[in-house]
Copies of this chain bind each other. A is one copy, B any other.
Amino acid sequence: MTDHVHIQEVGLRDGLQSIATTMPTEAKMRWIRAAYDAGLRHIEVTSFVPPKLLPQLADAAQIVAYALQFDGLTVTALVPNLKGADNALKAGVHRIVAPISVSTQHSLANVRRKPMEMVQEFARMRELIDAYGSSTTLIAGLSTVFGCTLQGEVPVDDVCDVVRGSLAAGADTVALADTTGHATPAQVQRVIAAVRAVAGERLRSMHFHDTRGMGLANTVIALQSGIREFDASLAGIGGCPHAPGATGNVVTEDLVFMLESMGYHTGISVERLLACRQILAEALPQEPLYGFINRAGLPNTFTQQRATQ
């Protein structure tokens, strides 16, 4: 029960790309600093995509340069294609996560490529990294793993096929994302078991959305299945364009509270995370912020002796 659990803040990428407002670069930098000061050591800071597609993330290279200054901070960027990978490598990110949607319909709608065509692009990213002689980690970020708003059911065999393909194409690790908030606890257990049989310890992290309030329940099951790395967004920022009022990723501060309460070590201070929300409230006054601990407060039984400093 003294396991360490790594939390990666993804609000700067997944959250900010899902909302209409563009957060000023300066506010993003304050967020990164505050998250680091709260104890976060993994941040997915941006995505390298054409600015005309995602103007919210047009400052990608500048944000990466800023984040690289923090000692011990693992800086990750999402990269959907070879051009983005080249830009990410030039910017000096520690990790590239390339999204590969398991749902054919979602993949075509999103990147105009079928899943296995995306795996081929992934293989080219691997070659590029190796050609640079770079130590950058390449993560296969499987999306729509638990269901798809376009396709509906996503067969677990399809998930395993994409995992196999990604590993053959040179993935260092595999992450599974519940892009659309379809995942339920029993399903999480089944899918992790199936992927574990293919990927073993290369299956490293889970990315849950809390669209239907299942995020923490799914996390508990993933913990039982041995997962020790989770994505989350401060204040659950973001959401789902298909579901007005639906929250985004699992709320970082609620997740850290749960993990620390359960005896896991995150190295992250819940109190400092709660204070970070103010940066979002000021920079994104129109956006709804989610979460429970911010409303209810920490219980009087909560003592977080092992958090940073």
Contacts and interface: CB of A to CB of B under 8 A. Distances in A.
B216 A214 contact: yes
Nearest to A263: B186
Contact of A299 (B212, B217, B221, B300): B212
Contacts of A184: 258, 261-262
A138 B225 CA distance: 39
A182 interface: yes
A254 interface: yes
Interface residues of A, number: 44
A198 B185 CA distance: 29
B153 A262 contact: no
B221 A186 contact: no
A150 B297 CA distance: 14
Nearest to A147: B301
A292 B291 CA distance: 12
Interface in A215-245: 216-217, 219-221, 240, 243-245
A295 B186 contact: no
Query: How many copies of the shown chain assemble into the complex?
Result: 2
A50 interface: no
A12 to B, nearest CB: 22
Interface in A135-188: 147, 149, 152-153, 180-182, 184-187
Contacts of A292: 210-214, 246-247
Contacts of A185: 220, 258, 262
19 contacts: A147-B299, A149-B300, A180-B299, A181-B296, A184-B258, A185-B220, A212-B254, A212-B292, A212-B296, A212-B299, A213-B216, A214-B216, A214-B292, A216-B216, A243-B297, A245-B296, A246-B295, A246-B296, A247-B292
- Listed from nearest, the 6 A-B pairs whose CB atoms lie closest are A213-B292, A184-B261, A186-B262, A245-B295, A246-B296, A216-B217
Interface of A: 1, 147, 149, 152-153, 180-182, 184-187, 210-214, 216-217, 219-221, 240, 243-247, 251, 254, 257-258, 261-263, 291-293, 295-297, 299-301
